């Protein structure tokens, strides 16, 4: 199964690049978000290949005046993992780990995008994440996260947004490994129990630095996976003893306030206070979407446009996964810095410290 990728010195197994072992749920994904200084404009993008499903898909979202516009693309991979585009969507690796370009040219949907993400700091490698359902591994992935600035233009209908004044920042991640993708697995793992996943991911940009932290909790509320990194122009360092204080909107699982705390090597405390402004739905980028979910086969070259009114919050399963655009305040040794970022939330099943006992109770 020789492909164009085999002409590059990137092999890690004695087999063609197109082959990634026997796991059908292997994926290799790009994700991006971006926003202006006050968060009133938000955009996101994703592109992924699924080598053992021979499928690739991409999506771009744009938030304007309280409406989330979703552009989705899907096609056949044809075993060519080096072709980083599908339909009207294309990603170009201009300078690895430094500059990535995204283009969308879709006249039918009246969208034109030509933007570039430029890394502010070096990418951060997160600890490998392995999650199980009983004896079955359903997630085994590696991810790197990077903060950056955006330049370029986004045109939708009769509006053009110029990102080149460098007031647009954001975060990207690259992850690869195993996740539930494509058709759902119909073989259950006994004994039956409620699904449970508690995920918080909070990257933020400040004028002269950035920070990143996340949690995966079990049903009791214990953090089985957590990580925290702070970066400046001349250093990147990990923080320890990460804790959280969460307040929820009444009767829901939407976070109204969040406070995180962690310690540097010398014992200095760093505290983040987050205030959500509004949230976007990750199903616009394929996450948990019932029809356009990640890795689902739609044909050789298919696309779809739809939109969500962000004033509506259905709390249905496809809309559980969100990113809340937040004002961040970071306090360290009596000094306060203000920034902006996202608080990604996917809260399913029991979480006793939050008072959640069922699948979706608030």
The answer to the question of residue 361 being in a domain is no
The answer to the question of residue 9 being in a domain is no
The answer to the question of residue 344 being in a domain is yes
The answer to the question of residue 18 being in a domain is no
What lies within 8 Å, CB to CB, of 226 at 6+ separation is: 213, 214, 215, 216, 242
How far does CA 14 lie from the centroid of its chain? Answer: 32
Tell me the C-alpha distance between 118 and 124, whole Å. Answer: 15
pTM of the complete model: 0.96
Give the domain extent around 152.
26-184+193-354
Report the mean per-residue pLDDT for the chain: 95
Tell me the C-alpha distance between 280 and 324, whole Å. Answer: 6
pLDDT at 162 > cutoff 90? yes
The answer to the question of residue 17 being in a domain is no
The answer to the question of residue 144 being in a domain is yes
3-state SS class at 6: helix
The answer to the question of residue 218 being in a domain is yes
DSSP 124-136: EEPPPEEEEETTE
The answer to the question of residue 105 being in a domain is yes
pLDDT at 362 > cutoff 90? no
pLDDT at 127 > cutoff 90? yes
Tell me the C-alpha distance between 82 and 107, whole Å. Answer: 25
Tell me the C-alpha distance between 162 and 160, whole Å. Answer: 6
Question: What mean pLDDT comes out for the span 241-264?
Answer: 97
pLDDT digits (tens, 9 = 90+) for 254-287: 999 999 999 999 999 999 999 999 999 999 999 9
pLDDT at 166 > cutoff 80? no
Question: What mean pLDDT comes out for the span 110-124?
Answer: 97
Half-sphere exposure of 94 (CA within 13 A, CB side): 11
Beta bridge partners of 34: 43, 170
Give the CATH number for residue 300: 2.40.370.10
Provide φ and ψ at 164, rounded to 5°.
Answer: -80, -5
Instruction: Tell me how many domains the chain contains.
Output: 1
């Amino acid at each position: 199964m020789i492909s164009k990728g085999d002409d590059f010195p990137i092999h890690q197994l004695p087999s063609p690049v197109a082959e990634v072992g026997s796991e059908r749920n292997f994926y290799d994904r790009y994700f991006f978000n971006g926003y202006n200084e006050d968060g009133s404009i938000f955009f996101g993008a994703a592109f992924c290949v699924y080598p053992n499903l021979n499928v690739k898909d991409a999506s771009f979202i744009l938030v304007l005046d309280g409406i989330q516009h979703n552009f989705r693309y899907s096609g056949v991979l044809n075993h060519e993992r080096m072709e980083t585009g599908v339909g009207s969507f294309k990603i170009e690796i201009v300078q690895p780990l430094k500059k990535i370009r995204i283009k969308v040219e879709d006249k039918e949907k009246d969208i034109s995008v030509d933007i570039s993400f430029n890394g502010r700091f070096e990418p951060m490698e997160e600890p490998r994440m392995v999650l199980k359902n009983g004896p079955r591994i359903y997630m085994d992935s590696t991810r790197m996260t990077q903060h950056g600035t955006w330049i370029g233009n986004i045109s939708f209908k009769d509006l053009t947004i110029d990102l080149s004044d460098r007031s647009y920042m954001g975060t990207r991640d690259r992850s690869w490994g195993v996740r539930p993708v494509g058709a759902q697995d119909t073989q259950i793992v006994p004994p039956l129990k409620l699904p449970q996943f508690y995920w918080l991911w909070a990257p933020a940009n400040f004028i002269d630095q950035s920070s990143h932290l996340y949690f995966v909790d079990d049903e009791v509320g214990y953090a089985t996976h957590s990580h925290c990194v702070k970066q400046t122009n001349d250093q990147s360092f990990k923080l320890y003893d990460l804790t959280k204080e969460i307040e929820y909107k009444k009767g829901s699982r939407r976070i109204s306030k969040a406070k995180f705390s962690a310690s540097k090597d010398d014992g200095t405390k760093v505290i983040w206070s987050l205030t959500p402004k509004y949230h976007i739905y990750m199903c616009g980028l394929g996450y948990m979407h019932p029809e356009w979910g990640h890795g689902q086969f739609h044909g050789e070259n298919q696309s779809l446009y739809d939109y969500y009114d962000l004033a509506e919050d259905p709390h249905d399963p496809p809309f559980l996964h969100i990113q809340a655009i937040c004002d961040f305040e970071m306090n360290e040794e009596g000094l306060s810095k203000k920034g902006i970022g996202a608080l990604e939330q996917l809260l399913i099943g029991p979480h006793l410290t939050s008072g959640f006992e069922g699948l979706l109770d608030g």
